[in-house]
Amino acid sequence: MDLSKPTDENISFMITSIKEKLRLVNADAMKPEHFDINRYDDLRDLYEMVQARKSFSPNEMQAIASELASLRK
């Protein structure tokens, strides 16, 4: 998948991948349509960081969830 272009499909892919990787409890609260395409690069950076790691501490998961919340519309 070409994530270099800011599209709604790419946002959906990244959000779904992040939710699956982190196994978030409240994953239904994070819907792709809640994210602003103008913050696409920030979301892609977060996605790449999450995909590069094997595991996360509870504090890291909290920080990632907070960052995702800040990227919402």
Q: Say how many Å lie between the first and final Cα of the chain, rounded.
A: 24
Identify the bridge partners of residue 72 per DSSP, sorted by sequence position. Answer: 35
| Distance from chain centroid for Cα 9 | 13
- Where along the chain do its domains lie? 8-71
Q: What pLDDT score was predicted for residue 27? A: 67
**Successive 10-residue mean pLDDT values, the chain, 73 residues:** 93 93 75 91 96 93 89 87
Identify the bridge partners of residue 35 per DSSP, sorted by sequence position. Answer: 72
Q: What pLDDT score was predicted for residue 25? A: 64
Enter the pTM of the model. 0.87
